Structure 1
Amino acid sequence: MEAAVNDQPRRGDTEGFVLQVRKIGNSVGLILPKELVARANLREGDRLHVAELADGSLQLSARDPHFAKGMESAGKAIRRYRNALAELAK
């Protein structure tokens, strides 16, 4: 089903936007409204990470959850070995 040219993402009844999946070349995609892109501090070429939640909904995030988990592990190691790292830094 092809959308009319004037179909714009619109504000939903609850917080958020209602977006339509559109054909883009041989793929499908979502076009994000300028206001949402600005609020999320996104630029062309940025990556969004998609997580499927237990209730079947999707969560988009500009932050890589694997990176955050790795940084948390690094922080624990730094705190644990703080004295040894300080000696090595001399």
Structure 2
Amino acid sequence: MNEPVRPTELEGTVLQIRKIGNSVGIILPKDLLAHLNLKEGDKLHVVEQTERGMKLTPYDPKHVKAMEIARRAFRTYANTFKALAK
């Protein structure tokens, strides 16, 4: 079923908001970037979670929902799409 959540070496890491030029930002350590499979220029999406605050994720939840809708349509109208492809 559900695997237990294993603590990582990065658990407990505290990130500090710092001034960067005329803006503020968070510097992510190399270990954390590697763990998240992120590189410079990648985007993180903010997802509000009920009772748990906010979550930063590299996956766009709107894109995921759109793909679920598209897959459902492709399954429902598979024969139509096959006929249109001819």
Q: How would you bin the TM-score normalised by the shorter chain?
A: 0.7 to 0.9
Partner of 1:54: 50
**Is the counterpart of residue 23 in structure 1 residue 24 in structure 2?**
no
3-state SS in 2 of match to 1:17 = coil
TM-score normalised by length of structure 1: 0.77
Percent identity for Structure 1 against Structure 2 = 54
CA distance in 1, matches of 2:69, 2:30: 36
Q: Which amino acid aligns with 1:24?
A: I
TM-score normalised by length of structure 2: 0.80
Segments of structure 2 that go 5 or more residues without pairing to the other structure are: 1-8
What's the C-alpha RMSD, in Å, of the aligned pairs? 1.7
Q: Which amino acid aligns with 1:52?
A: E
Shift of 1:28: 1.1
The aligned length equals 78
Q: Is the deviation greater in 55-64 or in 38-47?
A: 55-64
Segments of structure 1 that go 5 or more residues without pairing to the other structure are: 1-10
3-state SS in 2 of match to 1:55 = coil
Shift of 1:25: 1.4
CA distance in 2, matches of 1:39, 1:33: 10
